[in-house]
Amino acid sequence: MELRDELMIARTVYDYRHCGYESNRLISDMEDEGMKRVNAIKSNREEARERQPSVFCERAKHEAEKMTKELERRGGATLDELERALEAKKRESSALQTGRESRNWEYEHTVEKIRTRKEDEESAPERLRQAMQQPEQELGLR
């Protein structure tokens, strides 16, 4: 939409009159005065566009706070209470995980002991046989 169209809409809708009509002083260059107004309108429009994102963010932040309060009111639990409960659950989970890891280490250690004992027991007859063969060989030589 061009500025001419905006001025036309402003004239029709808001009964807008050019500033030159309401001025008490004599305006020598009406076109120059009109361009000043047009430039002022353009700069105001640019400023509004620059402010728009921050205004939008503020409005969204306000809406989020309002929704949070409404949900807290309806749900009964506040955000702080939920955060504290979450921290407690994290601590509990961490303690359980630590317990699980220590039990796993104990089980692995026990299994390793049993495996070593079994290997020792399985190799014991062979060692005894070898130990018996040596005295038998000595007896056989005599």
The residue among 85 and 36 whose pLDDT is bigger is: 85
Structural domain spans, the chain: 93-142
The answer to whether 79 and 67 have CB atoms below 8 angstroms apart is no
- Once rounded to an integer, what is the mean pLDDT over residues 70-95? 87
What is the pTM (predicted TM-score) of this model? 0.38
**Which tens digit of pLDDT belongs to each residue from 29-66?**
767 777 887 888 888 888 888 888 888 899 999 999 99
**Residue whose C-alpha is closest to residue 1's, from 40, 31, 42, 30:** 42
- Once rounded to an integer, what is the mean pLDDT over residues 22-27? 62
